[in-house]
Amino acid sequence: MKLPGHDAIARQADEHLVTHKVKLPRKVVEHPFRQVAKRVLMALLVLAATALIVYADRDGYNDNSDRSVDFLDAWYYATVTLSTTGYGDITPVSDAARLTNIFVITPLRVLFLIILVGTTLEVLTERTRDEWRLNRWRSTLRDHTVVVGFGTKGRSAIQTVCATGLKKEQVVVVDPSGKAIEAATAEGYAGVIGDATRSEVLKRAEVHRARKIIIATQRDDTAVLVTLTARQLNKGAKIVAAVREEENAPLLKQSGADAVITSASAAGRLLGLSVLSPAAGMVMEDLIQQGSGLDIIERPVIKAEVGRKPREADDLVVSVLRGHRVLGYDDPAVGTLELTDRLITIVRATPGTQVAPDVRPFPQD
């Protein structure tokens, strides 16, 4: 496999990447008309409160028209004061003119202030809030899962890990497509727009603090470069990558991937199995769909199972993880189960079924 040179990668990144922007999932907001109506209502409440205050202290005010301040005069004073109109050489004297100022002119002024000043403040507030959310997100993000590529493989991988109990707040998606990141944030995941072969993009996804990294890119050469970069930034994370061609799997392992899935070969084997036995193909497809039917999970050995043989465990045991070895259920080396073992079992999926958290590195060959 030929890998593109550094210049080719840089050109490709410049074509697909404008900025390395982090996008956090947004909460559902109200309709704009409802937001404006709330602002107008708040402005009217402030106006009413001001008028009541002025009327309560009406003896301290003077009206050049009749030397006395009544309830209408208090409302008029409040409107011209809050709207920053002030007092000019032309002032309404009749009740009709003052009613017009209260019910027509002032609402228009308030609406103008909302559109002119409110919009500016909204932009500034939104930027400040986004910056605060981003800083808080970065400070609290630990042991999360980074998914590079939000295509079919990336989506399926996220759905599987989330079905086992992982919260959406603990998933960060990296993709060069802005539309893909928008789709990810719409589903509740944080997203980083950028080329994952660049270290600064992965740093924005806090890869150096991640616990798991899933690489589901469209090209094998990209997967290799992403794996190299991710392993350089994080020596202890579990990295799982997908490739199209089986011949590229050894190169990915040499680049630092703990496990490599060959998508084309896996699909081909499933097709072949389904031809030989449609029922067996259905069972295999059921096993790889987390959260429905039968699930294959990894869990620790419980105290009640210590000293038993794998066949005597509570669940159907497929393999036993002992140290850095993966042993078959019928391997004589297993003997009886130990408390430090972990089991690969097949269980019936239920709403409460979750994969036990990883406490040790993925076994190496």
Q: Taking 70 as the threshold, does the pLDDT of residue 350 lie above it?
A: no
pLDDT bucket at 238, cuts 50 / 70 / 90:
very high
The mean pLDDT of 96-117, rounded to a whole number, is 69
Assigned token pair, 288? 């790889």
Q: Which of 93-97, 152-156, 187-191, 224-228 has the lowest mean pLDDT?
A: 93-97
Residue 227's alpha-carbon distances to 198, 220, 234, 254, in angstroms, are 11, 11, 10, 10
Assigned token pair, 294? 């039968």
Stated length of the chain = 365
The mean pLDDT of 63-69, rounded to a whole number, is 71
Q: Taking 80 as the threshold, does the pLDDT of residue 250 lie above it?
A: yes
Give just the sign of the alpha carbon dihedral 172, 175, 178, 180.
negative
Supply the DSSP string of 95-132, one letter for each residue: HHHHHHIIIIIHHHHHHHHIIIIIHHHHHHHHHHHHHH
Average pLDDT, the chain: 77
Q: Taking 50 as the threshold, does the pLDDT of residue 5 lie above it?
A: no
Q: What CA–CA distance (Å, rounded) separates 105 from 211?
A: 61
Instruction: Quote helix, strand, coil % in the chain, to nearest 5.
Output: 50, 15, 35
**Percent of the chain's residues with pLDDT above 70:** 73
pLDDT digits (tens, 9 = 90+) for 276-288: 888 887 888 777 7
> Is residue 242 a contact partner of residue 223, using CB atoms and an 8 Å limit?
yes
